[in-house]
Structure 1
Amino acid sequence: MHETLSAAEARRMALAAQGFVGPRKALKRRPFSAALERLHVLQIDSVNVFARSHYLPLFSRTGSYDTQALDEHLWSSGEFTEYWAHEAAFIPVADRPLFAWRMADFERRYADRITHCVPR
Structure 2
Amino acid sequence: MRCLVILSAVLAVALAETYSTTHDQVDVEALVTNPDSLKAITNCFVDKGDCTETTAAFKKVLPEATEQACAKCTPAQKHMLKRYLEEVKKTFPADMDVLKQKYDPEGK
TM-score between the two structures when normalised by the length of structure 2: 0.31
Structure in which a larger fraction of residues adopt strand: 1
Higher Cα radius of gyration = 1
TM-score between the two structures when normalised by the length of structure 1: 0.29
Q: Which has the higher contact order (CA 8 A, sep 6+)?
A: 2
